[in-house]
A and B are shown apart, each in its own frame.
Chain A
């Protein structure tokens, strides 16, 4: 079974609209961390946002927020007021436990922002 599931292979969104990228995860650990990364066409991986399993509030970083629903094992990324530069591949990722540093990635969602 996949540990990280991103059900949207691709999305097209009008500029300035809000975008929600879906991510569900599977773990039996109580302590885990969830990440989102952005990969533009240039190829580099850019860290966007982090949510710890014990964090009570949803993480926010500028226009990015993480809609964390622990009971549903869901960690959706919300981008407010989308911009053309948001066009990229987005990966959801999870680290289980706290001791080691094994991070598992989903297969990604390619986001296209339309002018």
Chain B
């Protein structure tokens, strides 16, 4: 089944403890992105990647890192999480620039930083 897989689905962590949210897609998509969703703010892009070893900042990149060493994987790293990073995170992928199908989204990761 074609899908974007995120793990974990739920995570509660403490301030300052490094964490990684994994994202993997099996559709051979070139483009991958991370978004965070907060009430009243919609979805805001954190980072995106147009291909292996190519990443760019989105609108809210502070406090996050990403890497794209393989086409299928695009992990999101929080080196020192803070409570304002409590949010619902989505990984998404798309076939290519200009694709008519937009993104295929993962199921989301609900992160709580205490």
Contact = CB atoms under 8 A, between A and B. Distances in A.
Nearest to B88: A43
Given A44-B105, A45-B90, A101 B42 contact: no
A52 B100 CA distance: 8
A99 interface: yes
Interface string A74-115: 000000000000000001010100111111111110000000
Given A50-B102, A91-B43, A107-B42, A101 B94 contact: yes
Q: Is the interface of A mostly helix, strand, loop or mixed?
A: strand
Contacts, number: 66
Nearest to A52: B100
Contacts of B103: 45, 47, 103
Interface in A32-61: 33, 35, 37, 43-45, 47, 50, 52
Interface residues of A, number: 24
A101 B101 contact: no
Interface residues of B, number: 30
Nearest to A106: B42
A4 to B, nearest CB: 8
A101 B94 CA distance: 8
B97 A43 contact: no
B101 A47 contact: yes
Contact of B50 (A47, A95, A100): A100
B52 to A, nearest CB: 14
A37 B102 contact: yes
A33 B101 CA distance: 10
B107 interface: yes
A102 B107 contact: no
B58 interface: yes
Interface of B: 31, 33, 35, 40-45, 48, 50, 56, 58-59, 88, 90, 92, 94, 96-105, 107-108
7 contacts: A33-B98, A50-B102, A98-B98, A100-B50, A101-B48, A101-B94, A103-B45
